[in-house]
Structure 1
Amino acid sequence: MSDALVRLQDIHVRFANQAVLEGAELQVGRGEIVTLIGPNGAGKTTLVRTVLGLLKPDRGHVWRKPKLRIGYMPQKLHVDSTLPLSVLRFLRLVPGVDRASAVEALAKVGAEQVIDSPLQGISGGEMQRVLLARALLRGPELLVLDEPVQGVDIAGQAELYRLIGQLRDRFGCGVLMVSHDLHLVMSATDKVVCLNRHVCCSGHPEQVSNDPAFIELFGQDARSMAIYHHRHDHAHDLHGAVLKPHVHDENCKHG
């Protein structure tokens, strides 16, 4: 893929002589949403840490676009209830961020109203938006989102997934998500990668939800949960590759 942002090939990782990843493969392209799914212990976090450059695999090849800008959204944030930390002060922990840029980032995710609120006092959905705003602060070409709807109710989950899609459409950036929400994620992604130490199956959601490896991992009920309503302005080939890319700014600037 000429628009590839990151490509992992034949990744092997062992911890305490235990195989965590065995020949895992992953690729994320510009303007593409890729969702990583799999059971607990499948190696999803390890693969994400490899993408971020926080972990060097024991074997395999990691390629990133030169000077790739990555925005990372963690699964959750633990803040001591006694710590006097507002949303603004939290965002200003990122070097070079002032009030104006913090407001701008929050506005992109629809959360500018919480800028002066105590971080510990906002709702779960607002917290996820604040974390997403923080990931956007540096104008990333690749967003890496670890369980982005963690702690959010079902209506809020669908809204957050729509927001992520809108951000991709607006900025043309690649998105790598880790998710357990099979009932919603299939309508919010271009490509699904099913991981269980190695890649069991991958492709566009409709294809993966009918794959025997997917059904073996998640059961027949998961197939019915993975209802596929995938509407956007491009098509896929038989392998899930995007044939007609989104129209977006060539420089992928978030300013």
Structure 2
Amino acid sequence: MSSTTEPLVETRGLTVTYGSRTVLEDIDLTVGAGEIVTLIGPNGAGKTTLVKSVLGLVKPSAGSIRRRAGLTIGYMPQRLQVERTLPLTVRRFLTLWQRVDRADLAQVLDEVGASHVIDGAVQTLSGGELQRVLLARALLRRPDILVLDEPVQAVDVHGQIELFNLIAEIRRSRGCGVLLVSHDLHLVMARTDTVLCINRHVCCSGHPEDVSRHPEYLAMFGRHAEALAVYQHSHDHHHGCDGTVVTLPSAQGAGQDAARPLSEARRHHGHG
């Protein structure tokens, strides 16, 4: 393969066991340059273990991991805890592990929208500001691939949307690959190329809209699936003036709103 088509990271049949417990089984994963691949799944599904395997921190029990020669990885951890009494500014935090040119530091903080916190204490940052600083730290490595483990932890919904949009823009401007862990498919629907839904094994994979309709995805998330992905509604009732649900005599028209985007369905029913 040429360097333009060779995957940045590729796993085949990746299996991780701890004693008699299988954490991951037979995982196939490919991330190419300029591609965003999102891992979703319930707590304990093995998403973080898969990320650690890609990073080389966990050795597979079976299967293989191939990384492109000379691959540089920028990693953003799920969370960071800093002792509140430790005098640590953002500038110092970003230069602890590597020498950073002043201009590069200013550029990358501007890129992630965090220039204003450069001299602030890490402990005083808001959730969104801290995540942007962690993203800047990952970008300072000039990565070929960004590995982001739940990058919107402790961020409100508006901030989550902004961060996902920022990640998509970084992918576009830098051409890097992105391996992203998320628990909310609906937030990444328009910002990812491929979704891998795992629960120790690969339950389903593909385009996010296809995954959102897959029986195994729906079975895994149960009644929460429609909130996480595509709005579905059986039109078998109407609402009285006081808001009560009035069941129609027949189910005529049932399912006519199925798989309609949430915003369109809400407009149809007068909910905003």
Q: What one-letter code is carried by the residue in structure 2 that aligns with 1:120?
A: Q
Counterpart-to-counterpart distance in 1, 2:223 and 2:81: 36
Question: Following TM superposition, where does structure 1 have runs of at least 4 consecutive aligned residues deviating by more than 4 angstroms?
Answer: none
Secondary structure of 1:187 counterpart: helix
Return the index of the structure with the highest Cα Rg.
2
2:43 pairs, out of 29, 36, 40, with 40
Does structure 1 residue 114 correspond to structure 2 residue 117? yes
Q: Aligned Cα RMSD in Å?
A: 1.4
Does structure 1 residue 204 correspond to structure 2 residue 215? no
Does structure 1 residue 173 correspond to structure 2 residue 176? yes
Query: What is the 5 A alignment of 1:183-202?
Result: 183-202=186-205
Query: What is the 5 A alignment of 1:46-195?
Result: 46-195=49-198
Q: Provide Cα deviations, 1:168-187, integer angstroms capped at 9, x if missing partner.
A: 00011100000012231222
Counterpart-to-counterpart distance in 2, 1:99 and 1:125: 23
Counterpart-to-counterpart distance in 2, 1:85 and 1:119: 6
Counterpart-to-counterpart distance in 2, 1:3 and 1:171: 17
Counterpart-to-counterpart distance in 1, 2:6 and 2:163: 26
TM-score by length of 1: 0.86
Counterpart-to-counterpart distance in 2, 1:223 and 1:68: 38
**CA positional deviation for 1:100:** 2.6
Counterpart-to-counterpart distance in 1, 2:227 and 2:79: 29
Counterpart-to-counterpart distance in 1, 2:202 and 2:132: 30
**CA positional deviation for 1:225:** 2.9
| 8 Å Cα contact 1:88-1:99 kept in structure 2 | no
Counterpart-to-counterpart distance in 2, 1:162 and 1:216: 29
What is the count of residue pairs matched by the alignment? Answer: 228
Greater relative contact order (Cα 8 A, min sep 6): structure 1 or 2? 1
| 8 Å Cα contact 1:7-1:63 kept in structure 2 | yes
TM-score by length of 2: 0.81
Unaligned runs of 5+ in 2: 232-272
Identical columns (%):
60
